[in-house]
Amino acid sequence: MRAVIAFLSGSLFGLGLHLSGMTNTDKVQGFLDFFGTWDPTLAFVMGGAIIPMFIAWRLTRSRTPIVGGDFPKPADPKLDRSLILGAILFGMGWGLVGLCPGPALASISYGGFGGVIFLIAMIAGMALAPRAKQILDTSTAGA
Amino acid sequence: MYIDWIWGLIGGLCIGCAGAIYLLGNGRIMGASGILGGLVDGSARSSWVERGAFLAGLILIPALVQSMGVPAVDTNLTSNIALVIAAGLLVGLGTRIGNGCTSGHGVCGISRLSPRGIVSTFVYIGAGAVMVVVLRTLIEGL
C-alpha cells in the first residue's frame, strides 16, 4: 500500500514537473534572472502547488495517515547554520544550470548525456553530505 | 509565452496534489532530495521500497508523456560539462546539508508556514539569482 501511494505520488509529481515546464532549465534560470528578462512561470508553479498542500496540512489536524502511523512532527521553528549554508550551496548549483533534484530525476529519460552527468554528480554530492555535516557540526561545537 | 503561466499553474496543481497524496496517504513530506538522499547515504533502509516506488513514478511518467510529445519539452541544459558537474555536486551537497530542496522546503514547507522552509526558500532563490547574474556577466564579458 505504501509503495502504491508513493508510486502514484511520484507519477503525479513527474507529470506536474513536465507539464509546468520546470524540466526546461531555461525557464528556471529565467525565473532567477530578476535583473534580466524575468520569467514568472516558476512562481505560478509554486503557487499552484502550495494550494493543495495547504489544504492537505489542514486535513492532517483531524485524521491519521491512510496507511496508519503518524503525520510529521509540527514544523521546527529553529533556524541553524546548516539550513542556511545548505540553502546557499543548493541555490548556487540551481542557478548555475537550472536543475534541482525533482526535475533532474523527471527529465532523466530525455535530458541527454548532460542530464545523466548532473544526476551522478548530485548523487555524489548527497553521498558526501553526511561527512560534510559532521565537519560542520564539529566546527560549531568547537567555536 | 502567455500560455506558459497556465501550464505552470496546471503543473503546479499536479505537484501539490502529489504532495498531498504522499502526506495524507503515507504520512510523509514529499521532498525529492530527501527521498533520493535517504537511499544514497543509507539512512533510510527500512523505507527503500516506498522511496523506490516514488522515484520510479517520477522518472517513468515524464518519459511516457515525452514519448507522446504533448507538450514536447527540451531541457536546454548547458553543454558545459564542468559546469554541470559543479552544479550537481552543489545541489546534492546543499540539499542534504540544508535538509531539503524546492519540493520539501518550498512546496511542503511554505504551505505549512514552516519558518525553516520559508527561510530556506528565500536563501536558495537569492543564491540562485546571484549565480545567474554572475553567469550573465561572465558570458557578456567574454
Domain range list for chain B? 77-142
Alpha-carbon gap, residue A32 to A68, rounded angstroms:
40
Report how many Cβ contacts below 8 Å link chain A to chain B. Answer: 483
Could you tell me if A12 and B30 are in contact, meaning their C-beta atoms sit under 8 angstroms apart? no
| DSSP-based three-state secondary structure for A24 | coil
Give the separation between CA A67 and CA A115, rounded to whole angstroms. 35
Is the CB of A97 less than 8 angstroms away from the CB of B60?
no
**C-alpha–C-alpha distance, residues B20 and B23, integer Å:** 5
* A135 touching chain B per CB within 8 A: no
Which chain A residues in 3-62 lie under 8 Å from chain B, judged by CB atoms? 3-27, 29, 32-36, 39-57, 59-60
| Dist. CA B5–CA A21, nearest whole Å | 10
Range of the domain at A49: 2-142
* Structural domain count, chain A: 1
Q: In the 3-class helix/strand/coil scheme, how is A29-78 assigned residue by residue?
A: HHHHCCCCCCCCHHHHHHHHHHHHHHHHHHHHHHCCCCCCCCCCCCCCCC
Instruction: For chain A, give the number of residues.
Output: 143
pLDDT tens digit sequence for A63-115: 999 999 999 999 989 999 999 999 999 999 999 999 999 999 999 999 999 99
- pLDDT tens digits, residue range A32-55? 999 989 999 999 999 999 999 999
Burial of A32 (0-12, 13-18, 19+ CB in 10 A): buried
- A 101-130: CB under 8 A from B: 101-102, 104-112, 114-115, 117-130
pLDDT per residue as tens digits for the range A16-38 = 999 999 999 999 999 999 998 99
| Rounded distance between C-alpha atoms, residue A25 and residue B77, angstroms | 6
The whole-angstrom separation of Cα B40 and Cα B8 is 30
Q: How far apart are the first and last CA of chain A?
A: 47
pLDDT by residue, tens only, chain B of 142 residues: 568 999 999 999 999 999 999 999 999 999 999 999 999 999 988 899 999 999 999 999 999 998 887 666 789 999 999 999 999 999 999 999 999 999 999 999 999 999 999 999 999 999 999 999 999 898 776 5
